[in-house]
Amino acid sequence: MDILKSLGHPEEIINLFKYKIGGCRSVMPKLDYDSMSETLRTCYAYLNQTSRSFAAVIQALDGELRHAVCIFYLVLRALDTVEDDMSIPLEKKVPLLQDFHMFLYQPEWSFSESREKDRQVLEDFPTISVEFRNLGQEYRDVISDICHRMGVGMAEFLEKKVSSMKEWDKYCHYVAGLVGIGLSRLFSASQLEDAEVGRDTELANSMGLFLQKTNIIRDYLEDQQEGRAFWPQEAWSQFASRLEDFASPQHLSSALSCLNLLVTDALHHVPDVIAYLSRLRNQSVFNFCAIPQVMAIATLSACYNNPQVFQGVVKIRKGQAVTLMMQATNMGAVQSIIAQYSQEILQKVSAADPSREKTLRILSLIREKSLSPAALSSRAHHISPVYVSAAMLLAALSWQYMNAAAGQPPGGADMQGH
């Protein structure tokens, strides 16, 4: 079935075949579990249990950054599990979220009242917190700070709907932008990246917002079916009296207008994404950051002006995803991918769309940024076979990334924006 969906795209079929025959297995990151403490081994086990897609990406990171990001992920997964658990009464949940960062320094603290599927990270939190305390001070300070700020933000939006576009940005900042900021500070703390990467919080925030907004846009129907609403009222109220009306065929025209408005808003983060990625120097960090971004721009292109957003699930082809993952190993290739999907969106812009002028302006800016001299070299130029093989490994995450995102609320504090 995967092959059939890629008919008409020969490169995708070739790349799918390479993946299917297991060409990436020989470079699967192998951790030295023998040298790890028992608690650290357990942390990696929890990582694999709670995020199959993200576990492999973490294990591809270099040096001590790998452990720091693993613990960062598990701490935020525990925080997110509290936020997601509807069985916890608000009077208990609010202080739990606001004080969660303090539990990192309480060796015996755990929480056994959750009913969520990932509750083991709360029930065995002492295992995670001890490995947090084993990290260097430079990593602990980042993780504790982001955990605190995210917990406060989650508590703020527990009973608050996303009304204005400004609040949409604020909500996405709390649940994804802070993740981008935290990761960037960890990259710099590890000295794998320059200090500037960690200092520029505006670019790091945009990295998270672009992913989060893409997920929210794509997941309209699923969220409606589960009683969640993350599209900002300021946007949808221009076209309908109720957000749920967009799921009705008679409101399709209005639904598409709102959809295109939100896609246009999300596209405004792309110049920052290009600027951020262009600063990265470490290959493992670049792959870690670039892959979700190219997946997001491809997903936005698939969503733009697409009625399927209101009728089912919009996914890019598996062969397409594998190809993107294999290509996104250098800045020129990433810029070319962004230019390609921006052009696809441009070709779908209707003369009657209310957001047409804004869409054309941001696409023009993206084109200018993505066609800089660094992007003019062909994506087919020589790349180290090691990185090609590593990309094939990461290609396994392509559809898992999107399926995992679709399987959890957009508010979930996943490491790359979901």
User: Reduced to 3 states, what is the DSSP secondary structure of residue 82?
Assistant: helix
Q: 6-18 in b/e burial notation, b at 16+ Cβ within 10 A?
A: beeeeebbebbeb
- The residue from 77, 140, 185, 218 that is catalytic is 218
Both tokens of residue 49?
A: 């249990």
Give the C-alpha separation, 133 to 136, whole Å: 8
Give every CB contact of residue 214 below 8 A, 6+ residues apart in sequence.
Answer: 266, 296, 299, 300, 303, 417
Both tokens of residue 397?
A: 């995450």
| End-to-end Cα, the chain, rounded Å | 27
Other C-beta atoms lying within 10 Å of the C-beta of residue 245: 15
- The residue from 119, 149, 228, 356 that is catalytic is 228
How many Å is the Cα radius of gyration of the chain? 21
Both tokens of residue 82?
A: 């509290």
**Does the annotation count 228 as an active-site position?**
yes
**Does the annotation count 41 as an active-site position?**
no
- The residue from 73, 111, 139, 171 that is catalytic is 171
- The residue from 72, 111, 288, 401 that is catalytic is 288
**Does the annotation count 288 as an active-site position?**
yes
136 backbone φψ class: left, alpha, beta (φ>0; ψ -120 to 50): beta
Point out the residues that are catalytic.
171, 218, 228, 288
